[in-house]
Amino acid sequence: MNKEELIKYWIDAAGIDYEAMNNLFESKDYAWSLFIGHLVIEKLLKPMVVMNNEELAPKIHNLNKLAEIALLELSEDQKNLLDVVTSFNIEARYPDYKKEFFKKCDSKFTSKHINQIKELRLWLLEQLKK
């Protein structure tokens, strides 16, 4: 794939995951909606890596590291949010974290973070247009 095809691939994949995140949230599958929310942001950072570095995105899940490689200038609030969203990947995936994570993923907790993910998604999509 050339650079433009890679960028489109990641954006399209993020769009599919965005729909899944919303469907999971609507069905009250809160922990998994946050896990998929992490994937949405990850898959929007990876085309930024390609766009700004002309290389393949690394196979990592740390969102702040991806943002750094993508040469994104982030506010402290955005960096903190990326740390929180990265934790959803770990906490939903690994058994030793999963039970506690699922307990805290009630409607209020999840709504707050889903809304933040949606805002960050829109911001990243704007950055991809530049």
Span 81-127, pLDDT tens digits: 999 999 999 876 777 778 889 899 999 999 999 999 999 999 999 99
Q: Which domain holds residue 42?
A: 3-129
3 state SS for the chain: CCHHHHHHHHHHHHHHHHHHHHHHHHCCCHHHHHHHHHHHHHHHHHHHHHHHHCCCCCCCCCHHHHHHHCCCCCCHHHHHHHHHHHHHHHHHHCHHHHHHHHHHCCHHHHHHHHHHHHHHHHHHHHHHHC
Prediction pTM value: 0.94
pLDDT for the residue numbered 35: 95
Tally of structural domains, the chain: 1
Span 16-64, pLDDT tens digits: 999 999 999 999 999 999 999 999 999 999 999 999 887 788 899 999 9
CATH number at residue 25: 1.20.120.330
pLDDT for the residue numbered 98: 84
